[in-house]
Chains A and B, each alone.
Chain A
């Protein structure tokens, strides 16, 4: 056994190779991405790994591997599970053969997400087990057990870490990597794998009959624990259990829920042994709803009576406050913090210096000053700060929201933006629908050849697989033309003038127009050792007009005389030189 300081996601990945994983697929999404990223970088065990084009595709691939007897895992974030919800529901009917773990990472407080939904609801909905770790060490240990549990009950197992597990770090005890390798073989069994109604009715019955077995198997794993110490109790789930343990008085009972479904008789025995119970869980009141059904006569505090917040993220201080409110703690052990310093200029995340997307957004604003700008999920959502992102809901929705607005009688032009990975994820269906139904819109594909926001995972535009093997890059031009688009133009966004010109041409034409703004992500370019000349401002020529500053590049600032200066962040894209009305900006070392 070796102890290492690891990120939650790294510890989870290591547990997978200890468990002898044979197949991993996923679609990147914060906070889940580092699980597959760690697996593809490790050298201790060889097996099949892919980044799929979306979560449904990833899910079905991994499910099939499980049907062939392999230990398989699919990873995504909570909103990604919505995309994979269709196969998820039916996979509970068909069941798993090799251990099949569905990792769906939740994001309370929506640190980098569009909502705060609770994956545990999906497990309940699908009638499958769900594991919720409370610490990095537990995340590691649970992941190993998840594969075995899946095989024991013959069902997919949902694994639900939250942001503060995935991206927290701790000293973790690791075990040996498994050397056992399985070879997959599919055994035909239409009654199991073909869900025509006659089979489905049987499979649903069998799934329901499994439930008592599942509840017992979950209880036997030992992740649901109780310590009876008094007449009041705190019940907690996931990372909230760690916060509770930090402040729990010695005479208060504690129930920790790490695995679902919870055995009702076991829970009832604990609840009935107390007069007051406080339930603390981030997300939805999943434990609380169950507990209240069993709590006859026992006073229950939680989300449903307002003692615990129904949204956002918890912390030790918040948990202590809830315990004070429920009369379990006399006073919070934490001093009231000072108020944050007021009126500081904010520093939100922004597009990198030299990011090719910035130039495209700037050109869109010029070419379509009265445009409506539906956008999508990725780095480019940060175009919000440039005023060129009017809507964002979910992956692929820029195209469909755009065509919906275009069909609504809106007179202003619609210009939608979407990244290459998002376009391949669920954008392409929207495009072929928009073309077929004669929408009036321009779609700009921000093609930086990589899935940048989540940490540079390759996609079919990149030309290499998750394992770094060369592969055939998809032709976005051919794909768009095959959808029926008549106007497909590819431009280099670093050429501002040409980009602007192409947008104006698109504007002049009818129907669905596609502009592909193709330029490598500035971070991958730097890693690939592509060096460009940096740019400098000639202070003699600069009139301090501020035109370059409106571009919003972090490499641009002002000196004490309000004239522009370019700092060391400059990546040499040169777009600011195109935008400067006086020609004050030029390449370093050249006049």
Chain B
């Protein structure tokens, strides 16, 4: 059985690990094997981070460059940084926002504009999501990762109900309503594209 490979990318602190945990719970619910790897240590401190998730994966946890079926990018610049991991024409669900890296200010580097970043993703099936706007609508900017997961939900080989149940099992109880709302708003945004 071949796996459905998902790459979650972003900036340390944005919640890629929680997003991958939710996908893992959903796989447990559906009794689908799952493997993955995530970034810890050095790269946590505001650095670029990547999380590999292999749904149905039976062997190693690493996705091979050129092998990912779907990318969830919590930052638009990071989507471009990891695009070589994607299969031709793969789905990309990207946050329509980027945090300017400190290197741009300190080393006077050029920061590509939004249009240039979107053009860099032209070969893929791109959906842009206003994660901050939807998270604010849900009630807190902190749930942008769950908004993005919701937006990606229609592209998963998992039932949206399983993902929703996984959200219930994975987030702190007192933030449950907030996260469920974020997931629902994200899912709506993800469906609109199709």
Contact surface of A with B, Cβ cutoff 8 Å:
3-5, 7, 30-31, 34, 111-112, 135-136, 164, 167-171, 239, 242-243, 245-246, 315-317, 334-341, 343-353, 379, 382, 385, 453-455, 546, 549-550, 552-554, 556-558, 567-568
Note all chain B residues with C-beta closer than 8 A to A4: 28
Asked whether, in the complex, the Cβ of A346 is within 8 Å of the Cβ of B46, the reply is: no
**A239 vs B39: C-alpha distance when bound (angstroms):** 17
With A340-B84, A341-B120, A347-B103 as contacts: A5 and B47 at CB distance below 8 Å: no
Determine which of B24, B42, B81, B101 lies in contact with A171 in the assembled complex, contact meaning CB atoms within 8 Å: B24
With A5-B24, A338-B66 as contacts: A112 and B80 at CB distance below 8 Å: no
With A171-B34, A316-B59 as contacts: A385 and B48 at CB distance below 8 Å: no
Looking at chain B's contact residues, is the secondary structure mostly helix, strand, loop, or mixed? mixed
Asked whether, in the complex, the Cβ of B41 is within 8 Å of the Cβ of A30, the reply is: yes
Interface: B78 (CB within 8 A):
yes
Note all chain B residues with C-beta closer than 8 A to A453: 41-42
Asked whether, in the complex, the Cβ of A558 is within 8 Å of the Cβ of B105, the reply is: yes
Asked whether, in the complex, the Cβ of A350 is within 8 Å of the Cβ of B65, the reply is: no
Which chain A residue has the least Cβ–Cβ distance from B23? A5
Interface: B64 (CB within 8 A):
yes
With A341-B80, A454-B41 as contacts: A552 and B47 at CB distance below 8 Å: no
Interface: B194 (CB within 8 A):
no
Which chain B residue has the least Cβ–Cβ distance from A110? B42
Asked whether, in the complex, the Cβ of A239 is within 8 Å of the Cβ of B45, the reply is: no
Note all chain B residues with C-beta closer than 8 A to A349: 12, 42-47
**A364 vs B129: C-alpha distance when bound (angstroms):** 43
Note all chain B residues with C-beta closer than 8 A to A167: 37-40
Note all chain A residues with C-beta closer than 8 A to B84: 337-341
Which chain A residue has the least Cβ–Cβ distance from B120? A341
**A456 vs B84: C-alpha distance when bound (angstroms):** 34
Interface: B83 (CB within 8 A):
yes
With A31-B41, A348-B103 as contacts: A170 and B46 at CB distance below 8 Å: no
**A167 vs B141: C-alpha distance when bound (angstroms):** 27
With A4-B28, A334-B67 as contacts: A347 and B48 at CB distance below 8 Å: yes
**A585 vs B37: C-alpha distance when bound (angstroms):** 41
Q: Mark B4-40, 1 if CB is under 8 A from A, else 0.
A: 0000000110000000110011011000011111111
Determine which of B21, B59, B81, B106 lies in contact with A340 in the assembled complex, contact meaning CB atoms within 8 Å: B81
In chain B between 108 and 151, which residues have their CB closer than 8 angstroms to a CB of chain A? 109-112, 120, 141
With A30-B41, A112-B42 as contacts: A345 and B110 at CB distance below 8 Å: yes
Note all chain B residues with C-beta closer than 8 A to A385: 106
Looking at chain A's contact residues, is the secondary structure mostly helix, strand, loop, or mixed? loop
CB B73 to nearest CB in A, in angstroms, measures 13
Which chain B residue has the least Cβ–Cβ distance from A317? B64
Note all chain B residues with C-beta closer than 8 A to A350: 45-47, 102
Considering residues A315, A316, A550, A554, which has the most beta carbons from chain B within 10 angstroms of its beta carbon?
Answer: A554
Instruction: Given contacts A317-B65, A338-B65, list 12 more A-B pairs with CB under 8 A.
Output: A5-B25, A5-B27, A169-B35, A246-B59, A316-B60, A316-B64, A335-B67, A338-B84, A340-B83, A344-B112, A345-B110, A557-B105
Nearest 5 A-B pairs (CB), nearest first?
Answer: A5-B24, A30-B41, A349-B47, A337-B65, A112-B41
Which chain A residue has the least Cβ–Cβ distance from B85? A337
Which chain B residue has the least Cβ–Cβ distance from A379? B45
Which chain B residue has the least Cβ–Cβ distance from A320? B64
Asked whether, in the complex, the Cβ of B60 is within 8 Å of the Cβ of A347, the reply is: no
How many residues of chain B get a CB closer than 8 Å to chain A's CBs? 53
Note all chain A residues with C-beta closer than 8 A to B105: 546, 549, 552, 556-558
CB B116 to nearest CB in A, in angstroms, measures 10
Determine which of B36, B102, B110 lies in contact with A554 in the assembled complex, contact meaning CB atoms within 8 Å: B102
Note all chain B residues with C-beta closer than 8 A to A111: 41-43
Note all chain B residues with C-beta closer than 8 A to A554: 46, 99, 102
Asked whether, in the complex, the Cβ of B64 is within 8 Å of the Cβ of A550, the reply is: no
Asked whether, in the complex, the Cβ of A345 is within 8 Å of the Cβ of B60, the reply is: no
Interface: B189 (CB within 8 A):
no
Asked whether, in the complex, the Cβ of A170 is within 8 Å of the Cβ of B35, the reply is: yes
Note all chain A residues with C-beta closer than 8 A to B61: 136, 164, 168-170, 242
With A347-B101, A348-B47, A554-B102 as contacts: A243 and B59 at CB distance below 8 Å: yes
Note all chain A residues with C-beta closer than 8 A to B35: 135-136, 168-170
Note all chain A residues with C-beta closer than 8 A to B42: 30, 111-112, 349, 453
Asked whether, in the complex, the Cβ of A352 is within 8 Å of the Cβ of B62, the reply is: no
Note all chain B residues with C-beta closer than 8 A to A316: 59-60, 62, 64
Interface: B100 (CB within 8 A):
yes
**A454 vs B45: C-alpha distance when bound (angstroms):** 11
With A242-B60, A349-B42, A568-B141 as contacts: A169 and B66 at CB distance below 8 Å: no
CB A395 to nearest CB in B, in angstroms, measures 15
**A101 vs B34: C-alpha distance when bound (angstroms):** 28
**A239 vs B38: C-alpha distance when bound (angstroms):** 15
Which chain B residue has the least Cβ–Cβ distance from A240? B60
**A339 vs B37: C-alpha distance when bound (angstroms):** 22
Determine which of B78, B83, B110 lies in contact with A347 in the assembled complex, contact meaning CB atoms within 8 Å: B78
Note all chain B residues with C-beta closer than 8 A to A351: 45
Interface: B77 (CB within 8 A):
yes
CB A261 to nearest CB in B, in angstroms, measures 26
